[in-house]
Amino acid sequence: MSFTIFVIDSDPAVQQLLTQNLGQAGYAVRCFGDALTALDALERGLPEAVLLEWDLPGLSGLGVIRRWRAAPATSELPILMLSARCSEQDKVLALESGADDFICKPLAPRETIARLHAVLRRRRPAAIPGAVQVAGLRLDPQTLSVTAGERQLCLGRVEFRLLNYLMHHPGRVHSRAQLLDQVWGSHVFLDERTVDTHVGRLRNALQPSGLQGAIQTVRGSGYRFHAQC
Residues 8 and 86 in one domain: yes
**pLDDT surpassing 50 at residue 1:** no
What's the whole-model pTM score? Answer: 0.58
Helical segments of the chain, H only: 12-24, 35-42, 61-70, 88-97, 109-123, 157-167, 176-179, 193-206
Residues 189 and 121 in one domain: no
Report how far residue 45's alpha carbon sits from residue 29's, in angstroms, rounded to the nearest whole number. Answer: 13
- Please report, for the domain that includes residue 104, its CATH number: 3.40.50.2300
Residues 76 and 91 in one domain: yes
Number of domains comprising the chain = 2
Residues 114 and 12 in one domain: yes
Residues 99 and 136 in one domain: no
Residues 37 and 115 in one domain: yes
* Of 36, 30, 24, residue with least CA distance to 6: 30
Q: Which of 126, 141, 165 is the last residue of a domain?
A: 126
pLDDT in tens, 110-126: 999 999 988 887 765 43
Q: Which of 96, 126, 156 is the last residue of a domain?
A: 126
Whether 30 contacts 47, CB under 8 Å:
yes
Instruction: Tell me the three-class secondary structure of 122-175, residue by residue.
Output: HHCHHHCCCCEEECCEEEECCCCEEEECCEEECCCHHHHHHHHHHHCCCCCCEC
pLDDT in tens, 119-174: 887 765 434 457 888 878 999 876 778 999 889 999 887 888 899 889 988 888 99
Residues 98 and 64 in one domain: yes
Q: What pLDDT, on a 0 to 100 scale, did the predictor assign at position 6?
A: 96
Q: Which of 109, 126, 143 is the last residue of a domain?
A: 126
pLDDT in tens, 65-121: 999 988 877 888 899 999 999 999 999 999 999 999 999 999 999 999 999 988 887
Domain interval for residue 20: 4-126
